[in-house]
Chains A and B, each alone.
Chain A
Amino acid sequence: MKAARLYVAQRLTAALMAPLVIGHLAVMFYATSNGLSAADILGRTSGSVGWALFYGVFAVAVAVHAAIGLRAISIEWAGASEQAADGLMLISGSVLALLGLRAVAAVVFPGAL
């Protein structure tokens, strides 16, 4: 059943992201300790397999999680049909995953273009 699969995907990505969000918050507080700079950010992430995995998993998980959430909101608050909501979910999830992975690639391989 689709609703059950979406529910499980929503909860699994939530459980996966909880520690990632805490890690990301720690990075945010650390990164801003002496003012934010591109050199500091890219100094940490450039060529790093660890950060690529951390943020790669994070980007895909948040794309799935947010897309399912947007689907529910579009039905419950905007009165969207199930078909329209599914379309919104697929488009928003794909855009978020692509932009997210592109951002990860950008900070791991800066200046690649």
Chain B
Amino acid sequence: MATGGEIRRDTGYRRNALWWAALVHRISGLALALFLPLHFLALGLAIEGEAALETFIRWSDTPAVKVAEAGLVFLLVAHLVGGLRVMVIETFAWRPGQKALATAGLAVAAISGGLFLIRVI
């Protein structure tokens, strides 16, 4: 806020859970958009035949990749629940408890990523 030529940055909004929900939604969307071309290129290897795809899958069969995949599951679920939250807010009347809902959504995403990691590791 500018007052008499002096700029004061008010970052109080950062204490709001819904600001964090919006930030997580944006960052997860950006990360997924950057990941998608790699995902498509990897699957596209099958156009050369099963062996090419299998070679890539075996190459990527490492703990680091599995942790990254679990991270992607977290990002995908976080973006899904965050998007559903946005559409519900835009479509229906405002209801109390939005911060608790956003936090629960993040918890669902974290649990999904954790379950995936346990499954593949």
- Residues of chain A at the chain B interface (Cβ within 8 Å): 11, 14-15, 18, 21-22, 24-25, 28-29, 32-33, 35-39, 41-42, 59, 62, 66, 69-70, 73, 92, 95-96, 99-100, 102-103, 105-107, 109-113
Nearest CB on A from B79, distance (A): 8
- Residues of chain B at the chain A interface (Cβ within 8 Å): 26, 29-30, 32-33, 36-37, 39-41, 43-51, 53-54, 57, 61, 73, 76-77, 80, 83-84, 87, 90, 112, 115-116, 119-120
Assess the A102–B26 pair: CB atoms within 8 A: no
- A73 and B30 in contact (CB under 8 A), knowing A37-B57, A96-B37, A100-B36? yes
Write 23 A-B pairs (CB below 8 A) sorted by A numbering: A14-B83, A15-B87, A18-B80, A24-B76, A25-B73, A29-B115, A32-B119, A35-B61, A38-B57, A42-B46, A42-B50, A69-B33, A96-B33, A99-B40, A103-B43, A105-B47, A106-B45, A107-B46, A110-B49, A111-B47, A111-B48, A111-B49, A111-B50
Assess the A99–B30 pair: CB atoms within 8 A: no
List of B residues within 8 angstroms of A69 by Cβ: 26, 29-30, 33
Nearest CB on A from B24, distance (A): 14
List of B residues within 8 angstroms of A36 by Cβ: 57, 61
List of A residues within 8 angstroms of B33 by Cβ: 66, 69-70, 92, 96
Nearest CB on A from B13, distance (A): 15
List of B residues within 8 angstroms of A92 by Cβ: 33
Assess the A38–B37 pair: CB atoms within 8 A: no
Query: CB-nearest residue of chain A relative to B86?
Result: A14
Given A69-B30, A110-B50, A111-B46, list of 20 further CB < 8 A pairs?
Answer: A15-B87, A18-B84, A25-B112, A35-B61, A37-B54, A39-B50, A42-B53, A66-B33, A69-B26, A69-B29, A92-B33, A95-B37, A99-B41, A99-B44, A102-B44, A102-B47, A103-B40, A106-B44, A110-B53, A111-B49
